[in-house]
Structure 1
Amino acid sequence: MSISIESRSTAVVSRAPGLVALCAGAGIYVFFLVHGNYLLQDSDTYWHIKIGQWIIDHRAMPYSDVYSLTRLGEPWISSSWLAEVLYAAAYGWLDWGGPVILASLALGATVAIFIYLLSANFDPARAIVLAMLALLMSAHHFIARPHILAMPVMVAFVGGLMAAADRRSSPSWLLLPLIPLWTSLHGGFVLGLALIGAIGLEALWSADAERRIALAARWALFGVAALVASCATPYGWYTPLGAASILGLGELLSVITEWQAVNFGTFGFFEGALLGLIGLAFYRGFVLSPPRIMLLLGLIWMALTHVRNIEIFAFLAPLVVAKPFAEQSNPGGAAILPSEVRLNPYITLVAALTIAVAGWVSTSSYLAHHHYAFARGHTPAAAVDILEQRQVKRVFNQPEYGGYMITRGMRPFIDGRAELYGEKFVMKYFHAIEGRRVDDLIQMLDDYQIEATLLFVKTPASQILDHIQGWKRIYADDLVVIHVREGGPQANATAAPDVPR
């Protein structure tokens, strides 16, 4: 009789979490669909879409830069080519609604997969709470860029590895196809390759001694296969090399906002979650194996070092500690969900299809009556109109405007592709616009025969140019200022308003 009861309860546990996860994911999708403008706040989205369209138009992969003023023709590969193609196709179909839908779907899928994986150790309520906390910690980096499309793949792959370690077995070979998909979406796949070894150590640590050699061989074989699979892209073995190049930019990473370290001078969801985790560990006396401790510390270090890694900590750390946390919270065994409601698999399938159809109908209806707009701070349309009227070709621009300039057919001096421009060039540029080295500013303007500048009003270089002979301010609004070199192109000059300083 006890066996029969356990069997019925287990059926509920195995089926209900899937539907709960799907409903939660659908809710997150709708939330970000409604607040889609929040996803359109980073100018890099512009050039990602433009490169994706180039790939579609040419049916080829870029191996050199085709858009910039200063690096035209230099070697460069796109480590996010598939995400760029998807964004470009979606944009061509539904304007800005396309990228918003794609990013919202990815976030919904991430939450659904996350909750489903946690359901092996937590009841749905706790899994949903952890998912909401992960979303709040990561919200600063939710923008329609390739990393968003890679998030569900990351959670699924690492969750599969952790599930194998929890079972003290080797990873399922069904996880392997996720690697070339992740590789094509975003360069963060190198983290997945690194975690194979780290999580494999946990599987070996908890396995019986007589099984460790065979288990180590299987994990090693999976790791080699994953590395080979990461090269199964149009770029071949150049793929992992290109993805790793960003890590060699040295000092440059310190001036890029998303690569900067966490500032504990302010208190946010991440700081609160980290302190809460430490306090809970002390209060409840939780014990982790050395490999899990190293995994958790590594994720914390990554998040503290670069704010862009907070979402990695937020979604992966719970997967690392879920099983020991559940076991130590309930020493008598994992809790079994109540079985008042039994879900027939056909009912689950019908419910899933209903959610999908309802999602598509609601999406179509919402898009028919709603217009998405990119953040104004990254779309200096009026200023670029003036530059086009004056037929200016060589513009010294703010990096945040590079993507928009590319979409307008202008070659930017610099844009968001830091690995293309390199550490030395970008650091010299930042020292110049920040006013630290005025000589560098003047030299760059002269060396590249710059005809006009397009900078933030508050950028020190825009104030410096007001006092440099040979440069004249011709336009300014609350965000952007244009200076032109006197004696430069004057076509249609009367069409450009002359704004006082």
Structure 2
Amino acid sequence: MTSAIAEANPTEHRRSSRLATALLVVPMLVAYALLPFRAVTDPDYWWHVRTGQLIYETRSVPKADPFSYTASGRPWVTHEWLTELAMYLVQRQFGYPGNAVLFGVIIALTWLAVYRTCRLRGLGETGALEFTLWAGAMSLGSLNARPQMITAFFLAVFALILTLFRRGRRHLIWLLPPLMALWVNLHGGYVIGLGLIVLALAGELWSRLAAHNRQLPRDLILCLFLSILVVPLNPHGFRELAYPFSYAGSGNASMRMIVEWQSPNFHEPLLLVFCASLLLAVAVGVCGGSASAADLLIGLAFTALALRSVRNIPLYAIVVTPILGERLGLWVRAVRRPFSAWRHRKLLLFTWPPVVLLLIIVMAVRGGGHLQLAREPSSEGYPAAAVAYLRAHPEDGRLFNDYGWGGYLIYELYPTRRVFIDGRADMYGDAFMETYLKAANVSPGWRETLDHYQVRFVLVPKDGPLAGALEGEPGWHLACEGAVERLFVRAAEE
């Protein structure tokens, strides 16, 4: 019956098909676009905006630390400079909702690219939607207003272009080098894009060798060469090449001390979706037939990245989920079924409930149940009372602050006050991070640390170990207590 209608009026059938696809995809994209409207969950958001302001006002990109007194003048690779400039300009004009819209669009386009890749790999409309929602569920903890979303977007676009390349549209490969030139100025995760091209090239070589084809894939090789060639086209030149690898060492403080750089803890509810994906990958590998060499290499590489660091799980979801969908489609034909084969009741049953569930999870679990619509970002969870006190008492004295609040303090108090530490752990280095932790955790030598840096003000979580230690420490008194913080002041020496 459906095919008869299509033959009778093919134009009307195409319109109906496009409308049906839109009804499937648009609710998902709207749900993803709302994610950045939550309260600020990335503690680095604040210093990103202030860095953008510094770039705009000085008409130059800072190459040394301007924000702290502990690392003042130390070399700093501002690998997100163009994103930070955009964040400042948007917030200046439209407030925080402007940046929420900006990153909401970026997030929605990211998952639209993933959906399109799923479709190119043979999944039907409903199957592609379900796999894209599944990939998004793995990434919920990271989808907010932060520069990392730029890397997620470009990775999704690179994966889509490489999929189109393998399906005959080989001219599109030449879009990658100019996109790489833009990516390298927006976020240091550009190295993931280079890695994806390398894996695709290695897979192509492997497949050709297996088929006794000695002809080299010159287009992929040249594309990789040009993509590497454009990396130094940034304010830091060749230093940008080395920057991403500063996170590779197992001894790096960020890897050992920051939760999102640690390996996944599968007791966390949101990580169970990632665990299910790994189990599906094993099942598909055993029962779903053999994958191409490129897909196998890409799957293994991004699985290793995700198991190494929670921060990499969204990258795994973007690249590996369409591969899993294609492999599962060879095993379970339902996920390849076109829209025309589904009745409308089945369509509603299999698509809208997951979208509604995603919205409920976003609002209830990750967003505190309300949207952030005020011009200024919400200070909920940050030491707003202490900031008000410090503004009212601008007397001299160095401030020791909690790591997670450094960005907020830069946003609120720079240039009047410099911070002890903030989220730029790569710039501060391992030794200093250990020094900070010694004081924050009241480990032996904590008093000496405060003395060495001539600290007069200490701003820490109210229930933290340092707050408890200073409460009874001679020479210190509580100056201010807020919803989440305590501010202590050292008595002036006579």
Select 1:438's aligned residue among 444, 467, 479.
444
Aligned in 2, Cα 1:307/1:201: closer, same or farther, shift over 3 Å? same
Aligned in 2, Cα 1:320/1:200: closer, same or farther, shift over 3 Å? farther
Residue matched to 1:86: 86
**C-alpha separation in 2, matches of 1:59 and 1:18:** 46
Partner secondary structure for residue 395 of structure 1: strand
Select 1:427's aligned residue among 430, 434, 439.
434
Residue matched to 1:102: 102
1:479 aligns with 2:484: yes
| Contact 1:154-1:182 within 8 A present in 2 as well | no
| Contact 2:284-2:327 within 8 A present in 1 as well | no
1:466 aligns with 2:471: yes
| Contact 2:207-2:293 within 8 A present in 1 as well | no
Residue matched to 2:350: none
Q: Cα offset for 1:107?
A: 0.8
Select 1:388's aligned residue among 356, 366, 391.
391
After superposition, the C-alpha distances for 1:395-451 in whole angstroms (9 at most, x for unaligned) are 00001111111122221100000111011101221132123x231x21221111111
Residue matched to 1:407: 411
Q: Cα offset for 1:139?
A: 0.5
**C-alpha separation in 1, matches of 2:425 and 2:13:** 47
Q: Cα offset for 1:8?
A: 12
**C-alpha separation in 2, matches of 1:117 and 1:478:** 46
**C-alpha separation in 2, matches of 1:400 and 1:434:** 14
Q: Which moved more, 1:244-253 or 1:140-149?
A: 244-253
Q: Cα offset for 1:14?
A: 10
Q: Cα offset for 1:452?
A: 0.6
Aligned in 2, Cα 1:25/1:179: closer, same or farther, shift over 3 Å? farther
Residue matched to 1:260: 262
**C-alpha separation in 1, matches of 2:331 and 2:8:** 25
Residue matched to 1:193: 194
1:299 aligns with 2:305: no
Q: Cα offset for 1:457?
A: 1.4
Unaligned stretches of 5+ in structure 1? 341-368, 490-501
Residue matched to 2:362: none
**C-alpha separation in 2, matches of 1:447 and 1:271:** 46
Residue matched to 2:358: none
Counterparts of 1:307-322 in structure 2, within 5 Å, are 307-322=310-325
Q: Cα offset for 1:162?
A: 3.6
**C-alpha separation in 1, matches of 2:233 and 2:22:** 31
Q: Cα offset for 1:237?
A: 2.1
1:379 aligns with 2:421: no
After superposition, the C-alpha distances for 1:106-128 in whole angstroms (9 at most, x for unaligned) are 11111111111221111111111
Q: Which moved more, 1:268-277 or 1:306-315?
A: 268-277
Unaligned stretches of 5+ in structure 2? 343-371
Counterparts of 1:161-240 in structure 2, within 5 Å, are 161-165=162-166, 172-207=173-208, 212-240=213-241
Partner secondary structure for residue 463 of structure 2: coil
**C-alpha separation in 2, matches of 1:315 and 1:13:** 31
State the AA in 2 paired with 1:244.
Answer: F
State the AA in 1 paired with 2:473.
Answer: I
**C-alpha separation in 2, matches of 1:432 and 1:11:** 70
Q: CA RMSD in A?
A: 3.5
State the AA in 2 paired with 1:438.
Answer: P
Q: Which moved more, 1:181-190 or 1:165-174?
A: 165-174
| Contact 2:462-2:481 within 8 A present in 1 as well | yes
Select 2:457's aligned residue among 452, 476, 496.
452
Residue matched to 2:279: 275
| Contact 1:262-1:304 within 8 A present in 2 as well | yes
Q: Cα offset for 1:28?
A: 4.6
Partner secondary structure for residue 248 of structure 2: helix
Q: Cα offset for 1:311?
A: 0.3
Q: Cα offset for 1:59?
A: 1.6
Partner secondary structure for residue 71 of structure 1: coil
Paired residue total: 453
Q: Cα offset for 1:48?
A: 0.4
Q: Which moved more, 1:231-240 or 1:243-252?
A: 243-252
Provide the TM-score with structure 2 as the length reference.
0.82
Q: Which moved more, 1:386-395 or 1:166-175?
A: 166-175
Partner secondary structure for residue 112 of structure 1: helix
**C-alpha separation in 2, matches of 1:20 and 1:177:** 35
Q: Cα offset for 1:134?
A: 1.1
| Contact 1:39-1:144 within 8 A present in 2 as well | no
Q: Cα offset for 1:219?
A: 2.3
Residue matched to 2:346: none
Partner secondary structure for residue 38 of structure 2: helix
Q: Cα offset for 1:56?
A: 1.4
State the AA in 2 paired with 1:233.
Answer: N
**C-alpha separation in 2, matches of 1:162 and 1:35:** 28
| Contact 2:401-2:419 within 8 A present in 1 as well | yes
**C-alpha separation in 1, matches of 2:239 and 2:14:** 42
Residue matched to 2:247: 246
| Contact 2:200-2:294 within 8 A present in 1 as well | yes
**C-alpha separation in 2, matches of 1:236 and 1:276:** 42
Q: Cα offset for 1:326?
A: 3.9
State the AA in 2 paired with 1:70.
Answer: T
After superposition, the C-alpha distances for 1:353-392 in whole angstroms (9 at most, x for unaligned) are xxxxxxxxxxxxxxxx943664544431211111232224
Counterparts of 1:35-46 in structure 2, within 5 Å, are 36-38=36-38, 40-46=40-46
Partner secondary structure for residue 74 of structure 1: coil
